[in-house]
Amino acid sequence: MASRGGQQQGEGVDLTTLTAQQLTAVKKQLDGEVEHLSSSYAQLAAALAKFKECLRVVQSGSSSFDKEKSILVPLTNSLYVKGQLADPDHVLVDVGTGFYVEKDTKSAAEFYEAKVKDLTGNIQGLDGIVQAKTNNLRVVEEVLRQKVLVLVAKHHDSRRERRVK
C-alpha cells in the first residue's frame, strides 16, 4: 500500500486512521498505478500477439513457401512491398532493438516459443498485481466514502445545534 512516516514500503496502513485528504492522495496514487499497470498490460498483450503470429508463420513450415511465389513483405504496419522468398528454410528474426539474426525455421520457432512463454508468465504476474491494486483502490474508495459521510453528518448535526440555540 502506501508508506507513511517511518513505515517501510510494503507495510500496511490502517486506512481508518488517515484523514480524508490523505485518503484522497492515496486514491490518486493508486489510480495512477492502476492506469500505468493497465497500459503496460495492454502493451505486453500486443507484443504477445505479435510473437504468436510470428510463431504461427514460422511453424507453418518451409513446405508452404514456394520460391517462385511472390509474397508481401511488411515495411511498417501499413506499408508492404512485393518480394520473393530467397531461402524458405531460413528466416530473419528480430531479436530486439532493431537487430536481426538469421536462423533456421526450427531455431526461430524455438525462439518465438520461448518469447511467448516468457510474455505469458509476465502477463499473468502483471494481471495479479493489477487485480491487487484495483482491490486496494476499492477499499480506499470505500473508506473515503465512509469518512465523507461521517463528515457530512457531523456538519449537519452542528448546523442543527446552532439553530436550536
Q: Classify domain 19-61+104-164 by CATH architecture.
A: Orthogonal Bundle (1.10)
Distances (CA, A) of 128 to 34, 46, 106: 12, 18, 33
Domain segments of the chain as ranges:
19-61+104-164
Q: Which residues contact 14 (CB under 8 A, 6 or more apart)?
A: none
Span 59-93, pLDDT tens digits: 886 666 666 778 888 888 899 999 887 888 888 89
Interval 101-132: pLDDT, tens:
999 999 999 999 999 999 999 999 999 999 99
